[in-house]
Amino acid sequence: MSETPAVDLRGGVAAAARRLADAGLLVGTAGNVSARVADRVAITATGVALGACTADDVTVVSLDGEVIAGTLEPTSELSLHLGVYADSPAAAVVHTHAPFATALACVLDALPVLHYQQLALGGEIRVAPYATFGTPELAAHVRAALEGRGAALLANHGSVTLGGTLDAAVENALLLEWLCRLHHRASALGTPRALTKEQQGDVVRAALERGYGTRKEIR
């Protein structure tokens, strides 16, 4: 790989971290962001203030975790990120301690589908059982919870989202936080209704037919 794409990749990860911090999803040094190109992963370093993250705060590693570029030690959740890349074709992974996602992950065993937008994440979002941060046990729980999904909640910890691009992983993190806030607000009013399997199937069919979420030129 030439130097330029690696620099762009590190800068892209830093920009994504700043965007998530601006949106309130990453606070202080909590959370981490990575992106993969071919056999390299650019990932935020441990102890970095993510709201002010720069390309120098992003370390490039191999898929085995060997450091290729950068001077800072990668995040303690490196094995979680590398495990997700081993399981899926995702190009980016976002891990947050976002307020509403984390709150719901202290209570729920799964986030039900209250709103059809959640189907963009694959349906009901599982809550991975609790394990200490940075451990292989946590990585294994999260990888299992992500099966067939673009997101998972981590019990008493936070959230993980994936994407086919860095932007998509960021958008999925923002969407998940919106859905968790929705669940919180709806639950304050009463017991939320979840969409039935039939209603969810109708949404998927309608989205496929109409190209939901894509811009359309007026002809």
Token pair, residue 142, equals 């999260």
Token pair, residue 109, equals 């065993």
* Residue 77 known to be catalytic: yes
**Residue closest to 22 by CA, chosen among 184, 170, 163:** 170
Query: Helices 3-22 and 166-189: crossing angle, nearest 10°?
Result: 20
What is the number of other CB atoms lying within 10 angstroms of the CB of residue 175? Answer: 18
Helices (H), 146-192: 166-189
How far is it, in rounded angstroms, from Cα 126 to Cα 145? 6
Task: Name, in order, each residue with C-beta under 8 angstroms of 106's C-beta and a sequence gap of 6 or more.
Answer: 155, 156
Q: Which of 3, 66, 77, 209 is catalytic?
A: 77
Which residues does the annotation mark as catalytic?
77
